[in-house]
Amino acid sequence: MKQTLPVDGKFELMALPYAPEALTPAISAETLGFHHGKHLLTYVNNLNAALPGSGLEGLPLEEVVLKAQGGMLNNAGQTLNHNLYFGQFTAPKADNAPSGRLASAIDEAFGSFDAFKEAFVKAGATLFGSGWAWLSADAEGKLVITQEPNAANPVQRGLRPLLTMDVWEHAYYLDYQNRRPDHLAALWQIIDWDVVAERYED
Ligand code: MN
């Protein structure tokens, strides 16, 4: 997978590849503002504050997640998780679906795209508390869905993360309140399948 390197000893807040209102109604500009500009910024700042003296200075973020512990691991994991999450969206599209080798791998692993979507939303909806639903590839390119609690990332299981849904309440509460499954279902319109396919081909 692509590596994220620190610049002058610090990880940067990722720039959003779309306008703040571009993901409405799945994610409002207000939610995006808090989620990216406050929550993610805090994780990045806390990670940067923990780097000096940790022995992990200069390593890519993906390796920091494999080597850090405790609070530093939580902040590194949440930085990586959110970079992948915010990087995978685009303006809403009708009939939004993957194509090519990724679409074939989804059919092979889950039976059909619709069956995959159902299984993925179920993974997110049934995750107790805070965490993330993930689609990842194993070493042979086979696709798997996992539920990861809190700040965990599939790289910790040796998997390559491709697509994720954040089910921490801060991801949807302003827009959807308690209706987590409705928020997750709305996210299908804004998935940038080209980005997900690039992650699969990397
Ligand atoms: Mn989040």
Domain-located, residue 15: no
Domain-located, residue 113: yes
Domain-located, residue 5: no
Q: Structure tokens of 122?
A: 């179920």
139-173 per-position pLDDT tens digit: 999 999 999 999 999 999 999 999 999 999 999 99
The secondary structure of residue 64, as a DSSP letter, is: H
Domain-located, residue 194: yes
Interhelix angle 41-50/70-86, nearest 10 degrees: 140
What is the band of 199 on the pLDDT scale with cuts at 50, 70, 90?
very high
pLDDT greater than 90 at residue 123:
yes
| Closest C-alpha among 80, 13, 11 to residue 41 | 13
| Closest C-alpha among 194, 196, 190 to residue 94 | 190
pLDDT of residue 1: 83
User: H-helix or E-strand containing 136?
Assistant: strand 131-137
136, 144 contact by CB (below 8 A): yes
Domain count, the chain: 1
| Closest C-alpha among 109, 113, 144, 127 to residue 184 | 127
How far away, in angstroms, is 198 Cα from ligand 1 center? 23
How far away, in angstroms, is 64 Cα from ligand 1 center? 19
What's the CATH code of the domain at 67? Answer: 3.55.40.20
Domain-located, residue 196: yes
Q: Structure tokens of 103?
A: 């679409």
How far away, in angstroms, is 124 Cα from ligand 1 center? 13
Domain-located, residue 12: no
pLDDT greater than 90 at residue 202:
no
How far away, in angstroms, is 108 Cα from ligand 1 center? 30
pLDDT of residue 178: 96
The secondary structure of residue 96, as a DSSP letter, is: -
Look at the pTM and tell me if it is higher than 0.95. Answer: yes
How far away, in angstroms, is 79 Cα from ligand 1 center? 9
How far away, in angstroms, is 117 Cα from ligand 1 center? 21
Domain-located, residue 173: yes
Q: How far apart are CA 160 and CA 28, in angstroms?
A: 29
How far away, in angstroms, is 83 Cα from ligand 1 center? 10
How far away, in angstroms, is 100 Cα from ligand 1 center? 30
Domain-located, residue 115: yes
Mean pLDDT of the chain: 97
124-138 per-position pLDDT tens digit: 999 999 999 999 999
Residue 65 domain boundaries? 27-202
How far away, in angstroms, is 171 Cα from ligand 1 center? 5
How far away, in angstroms, is 7 Cα from ligand 1 center? 23
What is the band of 36 on the pLDDT scale with cuts at 50, 70, 90?
very high
